[in-house]
Chains A and B, each alone.
Chain A
């Protein structure tokens, strides 16, 4: 069965500091993995996706994530936080039946401190 665990429901970083949001997954088949971002009062937007090609995936707004099979992790990072990065971030894993049939984590709210 597929599942996703996001460690830390709230993360605070200073502007300019490294952003690290953690995601661990469980999957009975090789997974597709995704990070989505949700800004206040909006729907979700895809940040990046892993689909079994390169293990280091680059996304929009300088975010990237690394797929580590041995650790069953897909952590999201950004070298330097901007105020505009404040949002909620969701990790998701695909499940059998199609890559679009996603199971979402519980989300991590990122606060950026000026």
Chain B
């Protein structure tokens, strides 16, 4: 089954404790991206990647890092999480940058205390 898998689905942690949210897709997609969803703000893109070792900033990259060492994985790293990063995070992938639909994961709800 074609899918985008995020882990964990839920996480409560404390300020400053490094965390990684993993994202994996099994469709051999080139394009992957991370969004955060906040009430009243919709989805905002954090980072995207057009292929292995190619990443770029989205609209709200501050406080986040990503890497794309393999085509299937696109982890989101919060080196020093802060409460304003409490949010619902989505990973998405598509065949290439012109392909729709993007396939979305089921989301990761992060709470930073």
**Which residues in A have some Cβ–Cβ distance to B below 8 Å?**
6, 9, 32, 34, 41-46, 49, 90, 97-107
Contact = CB atoms under 8 A, between A and B. Distances in A.
A6 B40 CA distance: 11
A32 B98 CA distance: 10
Given A46-B101, A100-B31, A100-B94, A105 B42 contact: yes
A1 B112 CA distance: 33
Instruction: Point out which of B4, B35, B92, B104 has the most chain A C-beta atoms below 10 A from its C-beta.
Output: B104
Given A99-B97, A100-B31, A100-B97, A46 B102 contact: yes
Contacts of A99: 97-100
Nearest to A43: B104
Nearest to A32: B100
Contacts, number: 64
B65 interface: no
B48 A104 contact: no
B42 A106 contact: yes
Contacts of B43: 44, 90, 104
A24 to B, nearest CB: 14
